[in-house]
Amino acid sequence: GAPAVTRLTVIGSINLDLVATAPRLPVAGETVTGATLARHPGGKGANQALAAARLGAEVALFGRVGDDAMADEALALLRLGGVELKGVAVDPDAPTGVALIAVDPSGENQIVVAAGANHAVTVADLPERLAGPVVLQLELPIPVVEAAVARTQGFVAVNLAPASPVSDALLARADLLIVNEGEAAFYGERLHAGGGRLIVTLGAAGTVMFEAGREVARATPPKVSVVDSTGAGDAFVGAVVVALSEGMTVETALAFACAAGAVAATKPGAQPSLPSRAEIEAILGTG
């Protein structure tokens, strides 16, 4: 039969992404005209929550938005996707987080993030006890992330993005750490000290999983024509946590998550591109 429904808690950032696609990226002091603007809901926390929900998980998101019109836009796809938003507070003073993204035709980008309400999240916004699986990233204040990890009973996964200083206690407590190559270089050998599982994503080259410093599995994504890689990493995180929670083997879970990231990269925008289970199974040929 179908696997039991996975219940996930995601604690993380909620943004509105304003994406200007321009003929080229400006240099300092330069104005480049002729751009087209798109507005997409984003933020690593929101993206990962929706990624998991689209794969059939029941997801509750904790975070903060501003008391402004951008909040409705930022939460629109989460609402449609059935993500529970009772844990999303409305901040009376700080605006909804915004990412200003400039993209050129080759996909190169420049991003400026104004965290707004995301940086006003406090430990008081979190439940007293968190039952796993819980998924976190580092776009909230680090003390809040640290407290959430410490409070979680059961499985906790931390996507150490963007690379920021965290305590050894967090690295040791996490059952799963997920990093890309740049983040892996930032943390170095500390990533292996905890003895939990570590996943390093290598873009088109795929993914490697380590356990207590030893490689235990690897997977490569299916070949796709990349349109926009925004959100591919978040699709991967949501998918790998759902897959492991459902009891897939590490090899199957990695292949499933690599495929999720690949499908997400074939469509523009972070949240609009997050795949359904049917899309992943189609590209893997396992449907």
Would you state the pLDDT for residue 223? 87
Would you state the pLDDT for residue 222? 86
Would you state the pLDDT for residue 106? 80
Catalytic residue among 91, 125, 228, 234: 234
**Burial class for 86, CB neighbours closer than 10 Å (0-12, 13-18, 19+):** exposed
Rounded to 5 degrees, φ, ψ at 82 are: 80, 20
The enclosing H or E element of 69 equals helix 69-80
Q: Is the pTM of this model over 0.75?
A: yes
Domains, the chain, ordered by start:
7-14+43-94+119-284 (3.40.1190.20)
Q: Which of 280, 286, 222 is nearest to 55 (CA)?
A: 280
Q: Which of 157, 159, 158, 14 is nearest to 78 (CA)?
A: 14
- What b/e readout covers 157-175, taking b as 16+ CB neighbours within 10 angstroms? bbbbbeeeebeeebbebbb
CB neighbours (10 Å) of residue 249?
A: 11
DSSP alpha helix (H) spans, 122-264: 142-151, 168-173, 181-187, 190-193, 232-245, 250-264
Task: Report residue 145 as tokens.
Answer: 């992330």
- SS3 label, residue 274: coil
Rounded to 5 degrees, φ, ψ at 81 are: -80, 0
Yes or no: say if 60 and 148 are a contact pair by the CB < 8 Å rule. Answer: no
Cis geometry, peptide bond prior to residue 133 (ω within 30 degrees of 0): yes
Would you state the pLDDT for residue 105? 87
49-63: per-residue pLDDT in tens? 999 999 999 999 999
Q: Which of 91, 132, 111 is nearest to 42 (CA)?
A: 111
81-124: per-residue pLDDT in tens? 999 999 999 999 999 999 999 988 887 888 899 999 999 999 99
Q: Which of 123, 121, 52 is nearest to 81 (CA)?
A: 52
Look up 67 and say whether it is catalytic.
no
Block means of pLDDT (10 residues each) for the chain, length 287 residues?
81 96 94 95 97 97 98 97 97 97 86 96 92 94 97 96 96 96 95 91 91 93 81 94 96 96 87 92 85
Would you state the pLDDT for residue 1? 55
